[in-house]
Structure 1
Amino acid sequence: MSKNNTITVLNTEVKIKAIDQNDFICLTDIAKSRNPDHPDDLIRNWLRNRNTLELLGIWEQLHNPDFNPVEFDGIRKKAGLNSFTLTPKQWVSFTGAIGITSKAGRYGGTFAHKDIAFEFASWVSVEFKLYLIKEFQRLKEAEQKQLGWDVGRQLTKINYRIHTDAIKENLIPAELTKQQVSFVYASEADILNMALFGKTAKQWRDEHPNDKGNIRDYANVTQLVCLANLENLNAHFIQQGLEQPERLRILNNTAIQQMKLLTEDKAVKKLQ
């Protein structure tokens, strides 16, 4: 996921950040849903609970080879006493825990691994936990779709280099000017656009005067995968010496066939 995200759960904004490729959810924000003025008090009360400490200890033993079990046993024995208090920073400092992080300041707060955060949310409010999970899952699905689009776009860029190299080696005589060379590249790019989208880059821009970018920036994952395949094929056809009209005909037929297959593929549909 991206470095920082925010989701809205029952009118409460909850921050999420990535730490070592794991999702950490802000306990401070969750606590604000119940106690907006003193959210840290709620977190400390949760940490005083023996069941909470059992949960945290087991989680750390499963995921943290540097967890200090001796210090943990000492803390667990004190749990339940009226005099027992524990802050997130103390928990991390004493035991070497990695499931919770806490930082003071305007942009700080207490964050916990999603496994732990969901348990805290349940302690605060079962209803809040269920909505938190729902919004978190929605965020992850959106990220998966974006990831699929990014992968497809990068694949297209890589194959475009193969495509342009084939143009340079086979279609551009040494005596052409830079302007003429650019025209050849644009012409070949539009062969791919025509084969897949049925229009040139200029035609698309004329139809979408207010949109930024180009026609390929608005392609979906299926189209990007197909476009990457067409770029490879066109590079091969150029090297074989096929004329533009013949290449366009073959590429268009290929695009039709591939799009039919790709739009029916379940794995690709998940990335849409």
Structure 2
Amino acid sequence: MSQTKWDEKAANYVRFSAKPDAFGQRVFDTLEAWGVEFVDKTILDIGCGTGVYTLHLAKEATNVDALDFSSEMLNILQSDAKSNGIHNIKTIHDRFDTLPCKAQYDLAFCSMSPAVSSPAMFEKMHACAKEKVFLGWGGKRKSSLHDPIFEAFGTQYNAPRGGVELKAWLEAQGIFFTCKVLEETRTSYMDVAKSVENVAWHLGINEVTFDPETLSTLVEKHADENGMVENIIESEMVLMVF
């Protein structure tokens, strides 16, 4: 997946909030119920993005190595860490598949990142830390805006299955894990221009060829009388500890 595409997304990507959103709180509450602790631990956050989870981990951990191949995402993370007085995060601009893991971390954390999506990367994540936390796609993602536009361009959006595939890999390897499926319905409202930009990005990362003028026309059909576009997204994620 192109680093450039993720750099483009950074400015509009969700950022750290002192209070997690409802879904993020469900994740942390579930981990707490499972006995997962971050206090005084060394943590590798794989595919950390803008630091939505990273900064929460850093509030309790000894230190966090935040890995991402998007420099723009890391710039935002560093800015938010500084403004929140968090100083125990080291950012690493690299890919997980090329990162040398010279020492074992106490915990490896990966949330909604394509960095861990193959058997080789499952094995690498398993080997780089004593305890692993993985939050990944469960193969379901329906969008009231994106789905009909993908279809208009002769294709369909296939939700990633990283969580499903990791679960199968762990079972095949005989590795004990704890797992929970988390469902979420989220509604967003954007103006037409932002909506076109958002859909174009998703088409781009899925390597769908599209005509920009046709895309704009399709998005405009979804706009209400105030020029706002509603997008209802139904997703299924898998949270695992192993």
TM-score strictly above 0.5: no
The structure with the greater share of residues assigned to strand is 2
Query: TM-score by structure 2 length?
Result: 0.25
Please tell me whether Structure 1 or Structure 2 has the larger radius of gyration of its CA atoms. 1
The structure with the greater share of residues assigned to helix is 1
Query: TM-score by structure 1 length?
Result: 0.23
